[in-house]
């Protein structure tokens, strides 16, 4: 079971820069209302991300799709961007080294945001297209970056295997009923997996959007779902004072109201380094809004920062400790290592080397996280820590679900629509016009 230690977020520990316990307790009524509002939306068929882990509707079709790929396929190229890619990348980075495949096992690589020409050429040169398949992910098929890269990937597959052979090596994860990619898949005969209509891209990490490539990589998607389902159940059952997503969202909301408008996520686990990028999109795109639900202009939203411990102790923590009082820092720590490495003590007479001899690397990393937290607290900088019992699919699933739920709760507290992105759509329309798409020209 994951834990969230927030004591160093509180005024009792960091003085006036922290959250007053009375203010946190005073949110209990609003939090209860927020949970009722979220449940009502869920019952209406919205906010499907709450129920995906428990219902697990996609395992059988994903397995069928995976086993139907030609037997000579060795590499799965995953093409997407934003919410269609970041979640899968983050979990793959965290767990692929621990994978124990139960089904077919492929090497999984990610593309789609590499529209820089040199980046594409470098990626292209790394792929053996004779033994590759492509999973293209786009709900609509109208997002230019992944579709442009997909056109190049398809061209390579056709050159390597012919048009019919290429079609057998393409899986389209897209809307089940409509859209450019849906229509193309039907015309070309690609295998398809659905993007649930009631799950937005940045909340889709436990749907086939990320689950299919993770399954192909040998990651235990069922354990991932199990951890996420447990965390969702805790959210629905636990009172606000014992509810981790509610507590995290509340503290971020109250600190934002106190001028702490920057929210840093800093995992102290190398394999979780991409979690920050996923969180950054989730928090920014969900909560950064011009108007609230009453159509009042509010221009709200915490600015999320992705940091990585311990490396960023030597690049960003100076700013966090002594710069503007506009930040809160959230660490992520794993309490128990799957493996660890004990350091030798070859120079016992050199104090600068001898003091850490005999300690394990995991022990050193945890000490660095604790020391960074202590320094921030002494400097009156609010900070908290998510604790995972271990680095496993179950724990990672619980954390991801907890952060998605916290985002939904924060949307209720800020009174904004956490599931749209009009600011992004404005940029897309401008890009269509600049590239001469029909219907978008001046």
The correct answer on CATH 3.40.50.10490 for the domain covering 3-39+224-424 is yes
**Other residues' Cβ atoms within 10 Å of the Cβ of residue 338:** 12
Element (H, E) at 77: strand 75-79
Q: Are 46 and 203 in contact (CB under 8 A)?
A: no
Sign of the CA dihedral running 312, 314, 317, 319: negative
| Per-residue confidence (pLDDT) for residue 188, from 0 to 100 | 96
| Residue numbers in the chain where pLDDT is lower than 50 | none
Q: Are 120 and 294 in contact (CB under 8 A)?
A: no
Extract the tokens encoding 236. 């629905």
Question: CA–CA distance from 91 to each of 87, 211, 307, 396 (Å)?
Answer: 6, 10, 17, 8
| Per-residue confidence (pLDDT) for residue 9, from 0 to 100 | 98
| Per-residue confidence (pLDDT) for residue 428, from 0 to 100 | 67
Sign of the CA dihedral running 29, 388, 373, 87: negative
Nearest to 93 by CA among 85, 101, 83, 81: 85
Please count the residues of the chain: 442
Instruction: Give pTM, 2 decimals.
Output: 0.93
| Per-residue confidence (pLDDT) for residue 438, from 0 to 100 | 72
Q: Catalytic residue positions?
A: 285, 314, 428
Q: Are 179 and 57 in contact (CB under 8 A)?
A: no
Extract the tokens encoding 370. 């604790």
| Per-residue confidence (pLDDT) for residue 441, from 0 to 100 | 66
**C-alpha span between 23 and 107 (Å, rounded):** 50
Nearest to 263 by CA among 322, 317, 307, 305: 305
Asked if the domains at 3-39+224-424 and 49-219 fall in one CATH topology, the answer is yes
In 168-243, where does DSSP find H-type helix?
180-188, 208-216, 221-237
| Per-residue confidence (pLDDT) for residue 431, from 0 to 100 | 65
| Per-residue confidence (pLDDT) for residue 358, from 0 to 100 | 82
Is the backbone of residue 172 left (phi > 0), alpha (psi -120 to 50) or beta? beta
Task: Give the domain ranges of the chain.
Answer: 3-39+224-424, 49-219
CATH number of 49-219: 3.40.50.10490
| Per-residue confidence (pLDDT) for residue 213, from 0 to 100 | 96
Q: Are 302 and 251 in contact (CB under 8 A)?
A: no
**C-alpha span between 214 and 193 (Å, rounded):** 14
Extract the tokens encoding 392. 């496993």
Residue range 188-210, pLDDT digits in tens: 999 999 998 899 889 999 999 99
């Amino acid at each position: 079971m994951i834990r969230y230690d927030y004591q160093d977020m509180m005024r009792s520990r960091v003085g006036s820069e922290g959250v007053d316990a009375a203010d946190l307790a005073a949110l209990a009524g609003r939090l209860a209302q927020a949970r009722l509002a979220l449940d009502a939306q869920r019952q209406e068929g919205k906010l499907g991300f709450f129920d995906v882990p428990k219902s697990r509707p996609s395992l059988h079709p994903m397995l069928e799709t995976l086993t139907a790929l030609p037997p000579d396929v060795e590499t799965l190229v995953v093409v997407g961007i934003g919410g269609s890619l970041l979640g899968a990348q983050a979990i793959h980075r965290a767990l692929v080294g621990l994978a124990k495949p139960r089904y077919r096992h492929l090497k999984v690589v990610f593309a789609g945001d590499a529209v820089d020409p040199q980046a594409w050429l470098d990626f292209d040169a790394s792929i053996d297209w004779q033994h590759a398949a492509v999973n293209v992910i786009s709900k609509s098929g109208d997002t230019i970056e992944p579709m442009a890269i997909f056109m190049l990937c398809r061209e390579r597959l056709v050159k390597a295997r012919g048009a019919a052979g290429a079609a057998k090596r393409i899986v389209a994860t897209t809307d089940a009923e409509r859209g450019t990619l849906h229509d193309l898949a039907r015309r070309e005969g690609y295998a398809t997996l659905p993007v649930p209509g009631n799950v937005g891209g940045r909340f889709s990490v436990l749907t086939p959007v990320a689950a299919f490539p993770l399954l192909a990589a040998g990651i235990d998607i069922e354990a991932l779902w199990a951890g996420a389902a447990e965390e969702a159940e805790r959210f629905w059952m636990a009172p606000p004072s014992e509810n981790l997503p509610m507590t995290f969202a509340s503290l971020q909301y109250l600190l934002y109201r106190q001028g702490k408008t920057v929210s840093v996520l800093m995992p102290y686990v190398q394999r979780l380094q991409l979690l920050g990028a996923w969180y950054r999109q989730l928090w920014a795109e969900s909560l950064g809004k011009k108007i609230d639900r009453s159509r009042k202009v509010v221009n709200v939203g915490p600015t999320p920062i992705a940091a990585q411990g311990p490396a960023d102790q030597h690049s960003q923590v100076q700013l966090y400790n002594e710069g503007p009082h506009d930040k809160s820092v959230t660490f992520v720590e794993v309490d128990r290592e799957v493996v660890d490495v004990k350091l030798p003590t070859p120079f016992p007479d050199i104090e600068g080397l001898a003091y850490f001899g005999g300690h394990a690397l995991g022990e050193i990393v945890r000490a660095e996280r604790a020391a960074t937290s202590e320094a921030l607290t002494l400097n009156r900088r609010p900070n908290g820590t998510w604790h995972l019992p271990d680095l496993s699919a179950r724990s990672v699933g619980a954390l991801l679900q907890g952060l998605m739920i916290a985002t939904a709760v924060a949307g209720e507290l800020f009174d904004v629509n956490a599931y749209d992105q009009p600011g992004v759509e404005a940029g897309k329309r401008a890009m269509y016009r600049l590239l001469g798409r029909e219907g978008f020209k001046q």
